Amino acid sequence: MYRLVCVHCGATYTPDQIIYTCNRCGHLLTVEYDLDGIDVSRDKWNRRSLSVWRYRELLPVRGEPVSLQEGGTPLYHLKNIGKELGLSELYAKHEGMNPTGSFKDRGMTVGVSMARELGMTTVACASTGNTSASLAAYAAKGSIPCVVLLPAGKVALGKVAQALMHGARVISIRGNFDKALEMVHELCISQGLYLLNSVNPYRLEGQKTIGFEAIDQFGGEVPDRMVLPVGNAGNISAVYKGLRELEALGFIDRLPMMTGIQAAGSQPVVRAIEQNLEVLVPESAPETVATAIRIGAPVNAEKALVAIRETGGTAAAVTDEEILAMQRDLARKEGIGVEPASAASVAGIRKLAELGLIDKDERIVCVVTGHLLKDPETVVRQCEPPIEIDADLSSLLSALR
Ligand SMILES: Cc1ncc(COP(=O)(O)O)c(C=O)c1O
Ligand SMILES: N[C@@H](CCOP(=O)(O)O)C(=O)O
């Protein structure tokens, strides 16, 4: 029904091989389905509720999945921010409404299910926070031990709390995320742990359902543009891959312009697009308040560059100030609470609109990837503290004056 294929040289591998990169050329793998042999139709999907598993025919898991009811996230019309920008069709798909508060849950329900089907006994990842929170929760649900490596001092409080509480073995390394990923990859290969970062082709299968859902939420219509914050570049690649499959099945006849947004202090993908580079140049010291996308050497860059270029999309960088201003605007003008990395997608659209680089009539879906409560410290730093008063009405009235 499916096989693993190298995105670079096309070498193929059987689905039961525990492999993350091509033995021949070292590039990443992807899952390729025999689409002609799949019994699937829009009607069949429409009879199921909106969730990752609505699309199970296009997912690699064959048995009962390890699930916490992921997906089915809201698509909000950003009427107020859209009005300010002259964009009447601006939407946010709120992935922070997943079980652990980020889009990673879509990947982990598939990844941990595959770990079980493949007989793996321990799962592992490196993380800027959300991957570890999600993996820890799904590993707990699947009763599989879990090891996570975090860059010391650079992970938002809520995310560390989740990984600890769900029972992962949490190790902080004195180095950045890119180094942690290198280390955990080596650990998994040498010790036989199952690696569940986005180098794992099965995990990304779950994430492609963001695009499927967005189209279904528009009654089958394809938005003109999908905008995603880019860190390790797995999510934008996954969404694009899924949409290509829908196109091959004849369910859609065009693709949205895939648009990637990075933080100004961590923008290797933006540079590769702007300078038309074939191969991305990593950044050795990425820095941004949006710690989730503080990644200098995105492992999925090759896939992401194809996604952006093949759809006529673009990439742009936003400053930390622009990210935080949009985090506040989403919270205060739309009632939508997101973490800084997530606000980057909408901040990017604000920038592109102000520069006149997008058509104002476009229907745009910004994926907002993680919940506000993930990073309470950054929230509190931006807000006035509560006013403490004596417990009587006159103090209350004078405080409100
Ligand atoms: C909240 C959030 N947004 C965006 C990203 C970036 O996604 P990707 O690494 O798939 O590009 C991440 C981490 O990966 C994240 O945790
Ligand atoms: N933001 C990510 C970074 C790791 O990305 P992954 O998609 O390769 O797992 C995180 O939450 O850790």
Q: What pLDDT, in 10s, does the model give residues 282-296?
A: 999 999 999 999 999
Q: How confident is the model over 110-133, as pLDDT tens digits?
A: 999 999 999 999 999 999 999 999
pLDDT recorded at residue 99 = 98
pLDDT recorded at residue 347 = 98
Q: Determine if ligand 2 sits within 6 Å of the CB of residue 292.
A: yes
Q: Determine if ligand 2 sits within 6 Å of the CB of residue 100.
A: no
Give, for ligand 1, the residue of 293, 339, 346 to mutate: max count of ligand atoms closer than 8 Å to Cβ.
293
Q: Determine if ligand 2 sits within 6 Å of the CB of residue 291.
A: no
What is the distance in A from the centroid of ligand 1 to the CA of 301?
Answer: 13
| Ligand minimally distant from the alpha carbon of residue 232 | 1
Rounded to whole angstroms, the maximal C-alpha distance in the chain is 76
Name residues whose C-beta falls within 8 Å of residue 195's C-beta, 6 or more positions apart in sequence.
Answer: 20, 123, 124, 125, 184, 185, 188
Spans in the chain with pLDDT lower than 70: none
Q: Please tell me the distance from the alpha carbon of residue 279 to that of residue 289, in angstroms, as a whole number.
A: 26
| Ligand minimally distant from the alpha carbon of residue 234 | 1
Residues enclosing ligand 1, CB less than 6 A?
Answer: 102, 128, 130, 198, 229-235, 292-293, 339, 341-342, 369-370
pLDDT recorded at residue 13 = 98
| Atom nearest to 235 CA in ligand 1 | 10
CA-based Rg of the chain, rounded to a whole angstrom?
21
Angle between helices 320-333 and 340-354 (to 10 degrees): 100
Q: Please tell me the distance from the alpha carbon of residue 151 to that of residue 260, in angstroms, as a whole number.
A: 24
What is the distance in A from the centroid of ligand 2 to the CA of 374?
Answer: 14
pLDDT recorded at residue 95 = 98
pLDDT recorded at residue 202 = 98
Q: Determine if ligand 2 sits within 6 Å of the CB of residue 341.
A: no
pLDDT recorded at residue 88 = 98
| Atom nearest to 299 CA in ligand 2 | 8
pLDDT recorded at residue 390 = 98
